[in-house]
């Protein structure tokens, strides 16, 4: 039996437990995947992480708002992940827990699967937190022309810009408003919680979307966010947070198990009505 888990604050509707259990079934593995909300457990993040490390978990995923906090606890072998300084996938074993960022690899895979070899062009990004960092470095690898970042916490934007300038070939500018970031942008990226269940709204004003070519929302619960609905109405090509969810999950499953799941079969299984076990802890 392979015990996995997900630590995050707003994960009651997460499909990650289902994805990993179904991937296990397809690969002939007994995978159990437990959602872990620190507040519901009466623990802080550090205590919840320690419980997983000490109680036989093969690995965990880490989501908002802990991707940066977990980084200091991990041994990270990948240079890109060290530059991002945020991890969403942790593998336990001998020695220090190993940290990975499948948001970065997952976004790159999702972009190529949906847009082929098209270059991202100039990109405006709202939010410079954990997932924003991963997407920014993925955009650099995809050949983005420029990244304009808006985050109301300017320190986050400055930290991300500094990391990109140090280790990625991507021109970066910080802007005082999201409207200024959008000026001349071909792509729009939401890496804030806006649009998530419990966080209504959109990071991008509806009346300024038409000048862009494509839009991505890191939120996937719900898949149809206010931002993506508005972007589709404005004629933009859409990349949903579900695609990031799927590809980062496939990459994480490979790290946890060493096995490559059949992706079309997994997609089909995820579209079927959820079996009863998907609701168990």
Tens of pLDDT, residue by residue over 223-264, are: 999 999 999 999 999 999 999 999 999 999 999 999 999 999
H/E segment holding residue 143: none
With a cut of 70, which residues of the chain have pLDDT below it?
274-281
* Strand arrangement, sheet containing 59-62: 31-36, 2-7, 59-62, 89-91, 98-100
Which pLDDT score, from 0 to 100, does residue 27 have?
Answer: 98
Query: 86 and 141: one domain?
Result: no
CB 257 within 8 A of CB 266: no
Query: 39 and 65: one domain?
Result: yes
Query: 141 and 24: one domain?
Result: no
Domain count, the chain: 2
Which pLDDT score, from 0 to 100, does residue 277 have?
Answer: 44
Q: Residue 229 sits in a domain of what CATH number? A: 3.40.50.720
The percentage of residues in the chain with a pLDDT greater than 70, rounded to a whole number, is 97
154-161 contacts: CB < 8 A, separation 24 or more? 156/128, 156/129, 156/132, 157/128, 159/128, 160/128, 160/132, 160/133, 160/136
Query: 116 and 224: one domain?
Result: yes
Which pLDDT score, from 0 to 100, does residue 198 have?
Answer: 84
Query: 83 and 94: one domain?
Result: yes
Which pLDDT score, from 0 to 100, does residue 264 have?
Answer: 98
Residue 189 backbone phi and psi in degrees, to 5: -125, 120
Query: 109 and 234: one domain?
Result: yes
Query: 39 and 111: one domain?
Result: no
Q: Residue 50 sits in a domain of what CATH number? A: 3.40.50.10860
Range of the domain at 222: 104-242
Active-site hit among 33, 57, 64, 66: 66
Query: 151 and 201: one domain?
Result: yes
Which pLDDT score, from 0 to 100, does residue 64 have?
Answer: 87
Which pLDDT score, from 0 to 100, does residue 169 have?
Answer: 85
Query: 76 and 183: one domain?
Result: no
The chain-wide mean pLDDT, for the chain, equals 94
Residue 66 is among the residues annotated as catalytic for this protein? yes
Pairing of strands 187-190, 214-217: parallel
Query: 44 and 87: one domain?
Result: yes
Query: 238 and 108: one domain?
Result: yes
Which pLDDT score, from 0 to 100, does residue 275 have?
Answer: 54
Query: 233 and 253: one domain?
Result: no
Query: What are the start-end ranges of the E strands in the chain?
Result: 2-7, 31-36, 59-62, 89-91, 98-100, 122-126, 146-150, 172-174, 187-190, 214-217, 237-239
């Amino acid at each position: 039996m392979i015990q996995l888990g997900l630590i995050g604050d707003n994960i009651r509707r997460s499909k990650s437990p289902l994805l990993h259990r179904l991937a296990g079934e397809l690969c002939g593995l007994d995978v159990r995947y437990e959602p872990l909300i620190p507040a519901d457990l009466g623990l802080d993040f550090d205590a919840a992480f320690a419980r997983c490390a000490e109680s036989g978990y093969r690995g965990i995923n880490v989501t908002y708002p802990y991707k940066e906090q977990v980084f200091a606890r991990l041994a990270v072998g990948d240079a890109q992940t060290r530059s991002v300084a945020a991890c969403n996938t942790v593998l336990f074993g001998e020695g220090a827990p190993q940290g990975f960022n499948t948001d970065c690899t997952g976004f790159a895979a999702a972009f190529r699967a949906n847009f082929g070899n098209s270059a991202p062009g100039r990109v405006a990004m709202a939010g410079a937190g954990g997932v924003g960092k991963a997407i920014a470095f993925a955009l650099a690898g995809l050949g983005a022309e420029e990244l304009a970042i808006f985050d109301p916490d300017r320190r986050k934007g400055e930290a991300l810009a500094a990391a990109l300038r140090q280790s990625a070939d991507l021109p970066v500018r910080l802007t005082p408003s999201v409207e200024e970031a959008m000026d001349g942008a071909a792509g729009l990226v939401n890496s804030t919680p806006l649009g998530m269940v419990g966080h209504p709204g959109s990071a991008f004003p509806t009346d300024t979307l038409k000048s862009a070519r494509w839009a991505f929302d890191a939120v996937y619960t719900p898949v149809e966010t206010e931002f993506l609905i508005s972007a589709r109405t404005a004629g933009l090509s859409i990349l949903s947070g579900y695609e990031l969810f799927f590809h980062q999950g496939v990459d994480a499953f490979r790290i946890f198990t060493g096995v490559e799941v059949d992706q079309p079969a997994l997609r089909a299984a995820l579209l079927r009505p959820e079996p009863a076990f998907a609701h168990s802890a």
